[in-house]
Chain A
């Protein structure tokens, strides 16, 4: 089943000269884990926001084409309607704190109260996301007193608790240490395995290569390529696109080692190890 359909999407921010998104077309199946990569200002955040309706409803601006998420056409629905289907986590965890709640626990409840979830279920859901993102120990702290990493986990937890069918994450681990990012990625992967469709904009290429089923490469608001991580990171023009492949891929490229039986370079540590060992032995 196609969960996300984007057809010929064009978008220009008000007062901007250039198109932020230019003729973007792609489809995503239910349960897929999609990575969006590209250099700064390539249109990653704009594309993420187009999936939840912030583009165009929040910003206004010139809009063309079609975005259909889980059967809803974004242009004709309110953000409140779409937010029941699509959850979005933003880059800056600090500005995602509502500021009207005194504890992390209440903060996570905010979205659930708004969409009218019964009280007993609110409590169940909060307990489960606190556990999933490992922030139980701070549940009675003030949200503004958390560290950047904890705040980011709380922001993700607040959205996951609303149980969206599609989860859009815009650089959700920018404030986290390597161990913390790994934990968050694993939590997201477990959701993806439960059938939630995940769209993730990220600069950490090793993580994208490891977790994503397919990768969408953007440059100047246009789709350059949409394929498996192996295929994307084996491209010869990555430097021109302003990104660099995972370090494992770069090593294998330098050594000229491809994945056995394919024309692609390995992108994860395990694959690289396998390919390199195969050559050494």
Chain B
């Protein structure tokens, strides 16, 4: 079945780290550059994230994501470089367009921040099974109902898409035109909505009943098929990140 999850199965120490520690890392990687806003720190964190992605052998999967993000960042660079109100120092000129130093430096800060945040999230998303993440959150006290909603989305959406394909085929078999110019395609799309939406509603009702009889609303404390995923150094990593954050705060306040 086609999956909409980006998880990549690999054998690496990054994959072995438990999801909670990865969540900590996201927070850590976002907080520190805010506390200590220097280029060195930002570059350092982008570097760490990239090294971790490399170590996890998932760097190739990040290319389309970064590609998309760069598209947006380019507009930031252009707009800030040309039009930031504090712009004074002319860096270079291309025809009538002038790029200023202040704007470009500011754009660089934003770019580094964005890449840093995306990188930290990619570590979590590419190296953690969605079900593992949800399970560890439920163990930490998140409601199992919310957990169910999150993890079922990864399967129900592709299912809905495949049932949409079936309905579209059935309608094509009865002579509906589904290919051609935009207008034809929009016309073909409208009659799809009824069956897909109603069908999903009916399925949802039946699924809700099936969940009920399988004790979904049971008040008994839940147990788990798998043992909790534990990484040997996760406690140490978490404490280290906490200490570094405190140190960074102290540095910022007192020095």
Contacts and interface: CB of A to CB of B under 8 A. Distances in A.
Given A109-B225, A119-B225, A100 B151 contact: yes
Contact of A95 (B207, B216, B221, B227): B207
A146 B217 CA distance: 27
B90 interface: no
Interface in B198-228: 202-203, 206-225, 227
Contact of B155 (A88, A111, A144): A144
Contacts of B209: 49, 54, 58, 90
Given A98-B211, A162-B214, A117 B223 contact: yes
Given A114-B222, A118-B223, A144 B213 contact: no
Contacts of B215: 80, 83-84, 111, 114-115, 162
Nearest to A141: B1
A95 B203 contact: yes
Contact of A80 (B131, B203, B217): B217
Interface string A105-133: 11001111111111100110000000000
Contacts of A99: 152, 155-156, 159, 207
A112 B202 CA distance: 26
Contacts of A90: 206, 209-210
A118 B144 CA distance: 17
Contact of B213 (A87, A101, A105, A117): A87
A241 interface: no
Main SS class of interface, B:
helix
A100 B131 contact: yes
Given A96-B210, A109-B225, A116-B222, A144 B217 contact: no
B207 A96 contact: yes
A95 B206 contact: yes
Main SS class of interface, A:
helix
A186 interface: no
A79 B203 contact: no
Nearest to B211: A98
Interface residues of A, number: 45
A142 interface: yes
B148 interface: yes
A152 B216 CA distance: 20
A55 to B, nearest CB: 10
Given A80-B219, A119-B225, A98 B212 contact: no
Nearest to A123: B225
A117 B215 CA distance: 12
A96 B206 contact: yes
A158 interface: yes
B148 A144 contact: no
A29 B73 CA distance: 72
**Quick one: which of A97, A98, A159 has the most chain B CB within 10 A?**
A98
25 contacts: A49-B209, A54-B209, A79-B212, A80-B219, A92-B206, A95-B203, A96-B207, A100-B134, A100-B151, A100-B155, A102-B129, A102-B155, A112-B225, A114-B214, A114-B215, A116-B218, A118-B223, A119-B223, A119-B224, A119-B227, A122-B225, A123-B225, A142-B155, A144-B155, A159-B213
Interface of B: 1, 129, 131, 134, 144, 147-148, 151-152, 155-156, 159, 202-203, 206-225, 227
List the 9 closest A-B pairs by CB distance, nearest first: A111-B214, A95-B206, A114-B215, A116-B220, A109-B225, A99-B152, A96-B210, A100-B151, A115-B215
Given A83-B215, A109-B225, A113-B224, 4 more contacts: A88-B213, A96-B207, A111-B214, A113-B222
